[in-house]
Amino acid sequence: MSILVRDLQSRFIRYFTVLYEMRNITQAAERLCITQPALSNSVRTLERQMNITLFDRTPQGIVPTAYADALYRRAKMSEAELYLATAEMEQIRDSGSGRVRLGVGPSMLGVCSHFLPRALAARPRLEVNIVEGPARYLTEQVSAGRVDVAICTMPHGVTPADLDFEFVTTLPTVAVVRADHPLMGRPVERLDLTNYPWVVADSALESSTEDLMKLFADQRPQTITSTNSPTLMRMMIATSDFIGFMPKIVLAHNEGSKTIGALDLIGGIYDRRLVIITRTKSFLPPASAFLMQQFRQAIDALGIIGGERRTDPPASAS
């Protein structure tokens, strides 16, 4: 087989793919700017080398065989890979530049503000476009090709086949209150939280809220306010008795960290899984790969690694 592959000329493969797509020798020859006999001879050469029949000649025209279907699929894949290889070599030639479309979940905004200035100082010609949003939204953006790579918590119940989820670490969730809240400064039980109102992320955007409600079941407080605004959530926590729930890492980069803090909750709440999302088998440009390397280093420096990195999509937090 290896000798056969080496003997197949790329020009003949190109002729074959055009003929396969057009199903008409005259039209295919015109597109290729060659004569019909030259096209027919090229196809016959391929058939002879592989000892197969690629097309059945019928009064209605040519009909691809199963062999042609198989060859076409592989030929198109090779064509796409060649295009990506060319793009990669172009970026390697000028690896200090490039454009990155980065999706960032709310819990990672602080980390990004930590490593991005340093990364851009090292690569000043990089152009970075940042999109913020909840995990489910960012997943859709990566899948649609509008974002190259996303950093966010694992979306609940969403693992599209066209996406890869690289597990980075686990992010512990904490109960957050104002600095002088009655529950602050002492160990508290989960049941203690139900004596105060809660402010939570909009359940349509943040799947972890569902896990929270399941965890407390019938012990939920009577007052639960939901919002899709992290800013409003922080303001309500800092100025009232409301209890909020957020990844612990958010507090490290929160402008209001002096006015709000995490409760010493016995048993904790739950962990959220931090992932890097990319398209399956998609070429990740050197510029994007560089930023992801800087991101991982920032996570390591913050000391929040909660588990071993792996490439399979982990199950949603429960």
Q: Are strands 224-227 and 198-201 parallel, antiparallel or unpaired?
A: parallel
Domains and CATH numbers, the chain: 2-92 (1.10.10.10), 101-318 (3.40.190.290)
Model pTM greater than 0.75?
A: no
Measured CA to CA, the distance from residue 301 to residue 118 in angstroms comes to 13
**Predicted pLDDT at 196:** 95
* Token code pair at residue 221: 């407080």
Cα torsion 30, 32, 35, 40 to 10°: value is: -110
**Predicted pLDDT at 284:** 75
Measured CA to CA, the distance from residue 299 to residue 117 in angstroms comes to 15
Q: Please spell the DSSP secondary structure of 69-137, one letter per residue.
A: HHHHHHHHHHHHHHHHHHHHHHHHHTTTEEEEEEEE-GGGHHHHHHHHHHHHHHSTEEEEEEEE--HHH
> Residue 98 burial by CB count (10 A; 0-12/13-18/19+): exposed, middle or buried?
buried
**Predicted pLDDT at 181:** 95
**Predicted pLDDT at 94:** 58
pLDDT 10s per residue in the chain (318 long)? Answer: 444 444 456 788 888 889 998 898 999 999 889 999 999 998 898 888 889 999 998 887 889 999 999 888 888 777 766 665 665 666 566 556 677 889 998 888 888 888 899 888 888 888 888 999 888 889 988 888 888 899 998 877 667 778 899 999 888 889 999 999 999 999 999 999 999 999 988 755 555 677 777 788 778 887 889 888 878 988 999 999 999 998 888 776 655 457 899 999 998 888 888 999 998 877 677 888 888 998 988 888 766 544 333 333 333 332
Q: Are strands 271-279 and 224-227 parallel, antiparallel or unpaired?
A: unpaired
